[in-house]
Copies of this chain bind each other. A is one copy, B any other.
Amino acid sequence: MDIATLIGIALGVFLIFFSIILGGDIMGFVSPGSMMIVIGGTFAATLVNYPLSTVLEVVNITRNAFLYKEESPAEVIDTMVALAEKARREGILAIEKSIYDIDDPFMRNGIQLAVDGSDPEVIRDIMENELSNLEARHKTGHSVLHSMGTYSPAFGMIGTLIGLIQMLRVLEDPTQIGGGMAVALITTFYGALLANLVFLPLEGKLKSRTRDEVLKREMVIEGILSIQSGDNPRIVKGKLMTFVAPKFRTE
């Protein structure tokens, strides 16, 4: 589980609550109408902006920002080096049996291709095509959150404009401007908070996840091609080590 996502949102919400309570009554910040305009408007614009299937998938994707288990790229290296050693000792065909021990379908596929004796160029093409299509699909998911992060402050402002226009039309006594203004500003507050504590940071987290995954898959591609070409396990390790920061490199 990604503890940082949870802690971050909890901390942000706590700080806002605390800061509101410090200065007065929390009830002045609860406005179902404002919430409706900001969340509903953002959702409406998102529905216009993306195909239904993409919008529905976002719930799925967003779960990733909370549940993703951070795996060290070192594990990829260990797996690839173990395979390289086996291939070296018992021949490339020997690693076919290891396929059933591997969870990651991407790695499994690649090993199958290598065992089948496909041309290295073909293996690279197929795996890189798969990788770039995965990246493209993830990017669509990120862009939904990005759009929500730009529509929510916009609808916050639209809600505030509605509130301001209504208040100003009936304004007779300028001293009464305060209350109406306070109500009108709540939608701007909601929009800004949703964008900067939820939508945009979640987009960022998902992008980090995708970067991580892409890096690991690039390591898998390099590793499989290196194993297929009969490289010494030390060389396989050396090649994959260039992908990780020096301090994570082991001997």
Residues of A whose CB lies within 8 Å of any CB of B are: 2-5, 7-9, 11-12, 15-16, 18-20, 22-24, 28-29, 33, 36-37, 40-41, 43-55, 65, 70, 105, 126, 129-130, 133-134, 136-137, 140, 147, 151, 154-155, 157-159, 161-175, 177-179, 181-182, 185-186, 188-189, 192-193, 195-198, 200-202, 204-205, 208-209, 211-212, 215, 238-239, 242-246
| From B33, B50, B163, B209, contact of A204 by CB (8 A) | B50
* Residues A48 and B182 in contact, CB atoms below 8 Å apart: no
Beyond A8-B47, A151-B196, 19 extra complex contacts between A and B, CB < 8 Å? A4-B47, A4-B51, A5-B47, A11-B43, A11-B44, A15-B40, A23-B33, A24-B169, A48-B197, A48-B198, A48-B205, A49-B205, A126-B242, A137-B245, A155-B196, A168-B181, A169-B182, A172-B175, A174-B178
Can you spell out 30 A-B residue pairs with CB atoms less than 8 angstroms apart? A4-B48, A5-B47, A8-B49, A11-B40, A11-B43, A11-B44, A12-B41, A12-B45, A19-B159, A20-B166, A23-B33, A23-B166, A29-B162, A45-B200, A46-B201, A48-B65, A49-B200, A49-B208, A50-B204, A51-B209, A53-B70, A129-B242, A147-B201, A165-B182, A167-B178, A168-B181, A168-B185, A169-B179, A171-B177, A174-B174
**Residues of chain B with a CB closer than 8 A to A11's CB:** 40, 43-44, 47
Do A211 and B140 have beta carbons less than 8 Å apart? Answer: yes
- Tell me which residues across on chain B come within 8 A of A192, comparing CB atoms: 154, 157-158, 161
Could you tell me if B185 and A44 are in contact, using CB atoms closer than 8 angstroms?
A: no
Contacting pair A133 B48 (CB below 8 A): no
* B residues in contact with A204, CB < 8 Å: 48-50, 147
Contacts of A52 in B (CB 8 A): 2-4
Q: Which residue of B lies closest to A180 (CB)?
A: B168
Count identical subunits in the complex.
5
- List of B residues within 8 angstroms of A157 by Cβ: 192
Q: Whole-angstrom distance from the CB of A172 to the nearest CB of chain B? A: 7
A239 CA to B169 CA, complexed, in Å: 64
Complex CA–CA separation, A165 to B44 (angstroms):
27
Say yes or no: B40 contacts A158, CB within 8 Å. no
Nearest CB on B from A51, distance (A): 5
